[in-house]
Amino acid sequence: QKEVEQNSGPLSVPEGAIASLNCTYSDRGSQSFFWYRQYSGKSPELIMFIYSNGDKEDGRFTAQLNKASQYVSLLIRDSQPSDSATYLCAAKTSYDKVIFGPGTSLSVIP
């Protein structure tokens, strides 16, 4: 079992819709979680981090964390074509290493 898992996609949503990206992790001791966005041919960039159960909102982005279920999600409201990218979920494990998931490819259709 991989330590951080994501659906590889591609996930396609129409412009203006909500995109929902999901991630699960295996290390129950993980404390901090990150969402990175990676455009094709570019490097990952941090867009959200979360460490408490519940929701964290930043503009059109909402990160959700449920430690009991070992589940992290990212919601993108009012999706735009410029949101089309691969989204990487990462977890900082109990042994202090950040592990990345394989990424979910998102395509927002105009």
Partner 1 sequence: DAGVIQSPRHEVTEMGQEVTLRCKPISGHNSLFWYRQTMMRGLELLIYFNNNVPIDDSGMPEDRFSAKMPNASFSTLKIQPSEPRDSAVYFCASSYPILRTSGIYNEQFFGPGTRLTVL
Site for partner 1, rule CB under 8 A: 31-32, 42-46, 49, 51-52, 88, 92, 97-103
Residue closer to partner 1 by CB (options 41, 110) is 41
- The nearest distance, CB 102 to partner 1, in angstroms, is 4
Which residue's CB is nearer to partner 1, number 44 or number 62? Answer: 44
Q: How far is CA 81 from CA 8, 65, 103, in A?
A: 19, 26, 18
Distance in angstroms (rounded) separating the CA atoms of residues 57 and 63: 6
Q: Tell me the closest approach of the beta carbon of residue 25 to partner 1, in angstroms.
A: 14
| Separation between Cα atoms, residue 14 and residue 3, nearest integer Å | 31
